[in-house]
């Protein structure tokens, strides 16, 4: 009897779990093979699908760029993996990326991972398709017209100068990345969502913390159970929605009044009425949250990278200040900037372009194959996710010599007009889904660059930082920096 009990215990504790594990591995291998479309003769891209069910999601989340670089070096510019619950093909290189970006609706369509779609919502620009996407994009683009951007400039200057004064008054170091997120958050709240400065001051701390929590859990396993990443992301999202709803209700009451400028949120409300749609509070809240995410997270990442690269390359700061002095001598008013004066700052624009080349804030974009198609000798099966890589494509771009060096002057001459060359530099994506706030970001970053170069010197206290992605690029140490006043020579 005792021997039978021992055998049964051994079976339950050792043999049965091992058999279940082997069965899971076998089922996983069958699943991988079945992913191939038999009607297409081309093979699947090389690669591995990782562990059963969770794939290689954990390696990506923990290692990010190191994991991606390792995979590219091992498998090349097109490889397969399994991420966020779906079989995925990752694509790098200008020619390959061009096929994906120009294949919208014919080969692929935009589709972010399930966790992103759940948290941001189904009515966001990134999750809409066809006529709905076109209508909403057109409404938002009105908030980024040249007239609208001109209206934003004084607000941007006011906020940047206020932040600069605080940094210069501190005896201790400034943790640049958190400060940039706060600065860009305030700018986005005022410009894109029309929040009054006093409203922002009241709710800023709670909103920033909620956004941190939401963004941290955007890319998580799609499992909504207490304390999971998706659960925490949704809880933070709901708090943000509650605050935005208060502002929407106020705007709806005031929308019939004539105002000189209508922000992006107001444009969405107006567009909904013009198209005869039933007003959907949830849809407007989701769009506003997406705008706030896109409008401050990516610019905060790039502004942090600007401080980092310029801190490591003082000769670039000298040349930038020389350009500012020359423009001032030519009569350009740097104290009260406008679109025309910003356009004249060519070298400042090159500094931003080079920063976006080396550290694009968003590492890539998500699509899903709407049919099986061939790409460079490999089949991409229908239903598989496709990620086009921005950071890797910049790394392997042939049009940039000395790729690892920070050389803004490389952009003083335009890139080749050849179509493949055009897709070797894609910090804002491309095709019909190119970043809607591209021009807004350029204006904001150039104003920031002008103000920081004119009024401050800075020293990176830890030297070159380790960069991480989650979901945008940021320094692991938050870039501790000492700012001091710059005395004009």
Domain-wise residue ranges, the chain: 1-34, 35-485
In the predicted model, what is the mean pLDDT of the chain?
86
Question: Which helix (DSSP H) or strand (DSSP E) does residue 374 occupy?
Answer: strand 373-375
CATH class of the domain comprising 35-485:
mainly alpha
Answer yes or no: are the C-beta atoms of 149 and 339 closer than 8 Å. Answer: yes
pLDDT tens profile 164-198: 999 999 888 999 999 999 999 999 999 888 888 88
Q: Cis before residue 5, ω within 30 degrees of 0? A: no
Question: Which helix (DSSP H) or strand (DSSP E) does residue 22 occupy?
Answer: helix 16-34
Q: Per this entry, what is the length of the chain? A: 489
Q: Is the pLDDT of residue 34 over 70?
A: no
Structure tokens at 50: 């990782």
pLDDT tens profile 301-350: 999 999 999 999 999 999 999 999 999 999 989 999 999 999 999 999 99
For residue 267, what pLDDT is reported?
77
Structure tokens at 467: 């960069």
pLDDT tens profile 338-392: 999 999 999 999 999 999 999 999 989 999 999 999 999 999 999 999 999 999 9
Structure tokens at 106: 């014919």
Interval 96-108 mean pLDDT: 94
- Helix residue ranges per DSSP H, 313-465: 314-329, 339-343, 346-358, 390-396, 419-422, 438-455
Q: Is the pLDDT of residue 419 over 70?
A: no
Question: Which helix (DSSP H) or strand (DSSP E) does residue 378 occupy?
Answer: strand 378-380
Q: Give the SS3 label for residue 275.
A: coil
Q: What are phi and psi of 467, to 5 degrees?
A: -100, 145
Q: Is the pLDDT of residue 290 over 60?
A: yes
CB neighbours (10 Å) of residue 488? Answer: 9
For residue 277, what pLDDT is reported?
66
Q: Which of 293, 312, 323 is nearest to 354 (CA)?
A: 312
Answer yes or no: are the C-beta atoms of 75 and 44 closer than 8 Å. Answer: no
Most distant CA atoms of the chain, gap in Å: 100
**Whose structure tokens read 């920033």?**
208
């Amino acid at each position: 009897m005792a021997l039978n009990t021992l055998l049964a215990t051994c079976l339950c504790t050792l043999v049965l779990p091992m058999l279940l594990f082997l069965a899971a591995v076998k089922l996983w291998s069958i699943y991988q093979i079945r992913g191939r479309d038999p009607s297409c003769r081309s093979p699947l891209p090389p690669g591995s699908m990782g562990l059963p069910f969770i794939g290689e999601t954990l390696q990506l989340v923990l290692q990010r760029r190191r994991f991606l670089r390792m995979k590219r070096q091992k498998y090349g510019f097109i490889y397969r993996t399994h991420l966020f619950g779906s079989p995925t093909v990752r694509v790098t290189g200008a020619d390959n990326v061009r096929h994906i970006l120009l294949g919208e609706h014919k080969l692929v369509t935009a589709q972010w991972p399930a966790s992103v779609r759940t948290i941001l919502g189904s009515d966001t620009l990134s999750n809409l398709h066809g006529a709905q996407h076109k209508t909403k994009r057109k409404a938002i683009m009105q908030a980024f017209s040249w007239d609208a951007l001109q209206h934003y400039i004084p607000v941007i200057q006011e906020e940047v100068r206020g932040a600069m004064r605080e940094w210069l008054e501190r005896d201790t170091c400034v943790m640049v990345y958190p400060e940039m997120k706060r600065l860009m958050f305030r700018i986005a709240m005022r410009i894109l969502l029309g929040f009054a400065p006093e409203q922002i001051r009241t709710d800023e701390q709670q909103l920033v913390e909620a956004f941190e929590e939401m963004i941290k859990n955007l890319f998580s396993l799609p499992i909504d159970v207490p304390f999971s990443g998706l659960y925490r992301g949704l809880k933070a999202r709901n708090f943000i929605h509650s605050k935005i709803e208060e502002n929407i209700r106020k705007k709806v009451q005031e929308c019939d009044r004539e105002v000189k400028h209508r922000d992006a949120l107001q444009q969405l409300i107006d567009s909904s009425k013009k198209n005869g749609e039933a007003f959907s509070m949830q849809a407007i809240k989701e769009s506003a949250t997406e705008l706030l995410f896109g409008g401050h997270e990516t610019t905060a990442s790039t502004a942090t990278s600007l401080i980092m690269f310029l801190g490591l390359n003082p000769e670039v700061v000298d040349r930038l200040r020389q350009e500012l002095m020359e423009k001032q001598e030519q009569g350009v008013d740097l104290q009260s900037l406008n679109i025309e004066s910003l356009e004249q700052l060519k070298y400042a624009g090159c500094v931003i372009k080079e920063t976006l080349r080396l550290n694009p804030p968003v590492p890539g974009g998500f699509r899903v194959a709407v049919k099986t198609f061939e790409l460079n000798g490999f089949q991409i099966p229908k239903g598989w996710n496709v990620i086009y890589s921005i950071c890797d494509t910049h790394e392997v771009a042939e049009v940039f010599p000395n790729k690892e060096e920070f050389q803004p002057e490389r952009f003083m001459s335009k890139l080749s007009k050849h179509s493949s060359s055009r897709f070797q530099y894609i910090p804002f994506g491309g095709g019909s889904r190119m970043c809607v706030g591209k021009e807004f970001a350029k204006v904001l970053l150039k104003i920031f660059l002008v103000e920081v170069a004119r009024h401050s010197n800075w020293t990176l206290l830890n030297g070159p930082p380790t960069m991480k992605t989650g979901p945008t690029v940021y320094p692991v140490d938050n870039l501790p920096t000492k700012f001091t006043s710059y005395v004009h020579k």
